[in-house]
Amino acid sequence: MEVARQGQTAVVRVRGFADMTETGEFQDQLANLAGQPKSLIVVDMSELDFINSSGLGALIACHRTAKENGGELRLVKPKPAVMNVLEITRLNELFHICQNIEQAVKPA
């Protein structure tokens, strides 16, 4: 996982798997970013191969905390397998999903 910050925008690049063994750091980093007032958190999922309930839980918690602090969470280009999980859980209706980082960092 890599985090690049520019002002109140943070781009988080995740790779590989977001499962129980990897989610701790992911969740901690997202919680820290979401706790900042009016932050825009962009999670680049283009290299994420798998996500399970613990990874989804981290995203949901981040979304909720960011929203409470006047911020927003946006997801970028989930791979088909990850998008399938988002659709099955109907989280694709909760999260703002963008096709690329440039689109995600633009003001809504």
**Stated pTM of the model:** 0.92
What is the pLDDT tens value at each position of the chain, 108 positions in all? 899 998 889 999 998 767 555 668 888 999 999 999 999 999 999 999 999 888 999 999 999 999 999 999 999 999 999 999 999 999 999 999 999 999 999 876
Instruction: Report all structural domains of the chain as residue ranges with CATH numbers, in order of start.
Output: 2-105 (3.30.750.24)
Confidence (pLDDT) at 22: 63
Amino acid at 69: N
Beta bridge partners of 44: 13, 76
Residue 48: Cβ-neighbour burial (10 angstroms; 0-12, 13-18, 19+): buried
The pLDDT, as a whole number, for residue 21 is 58
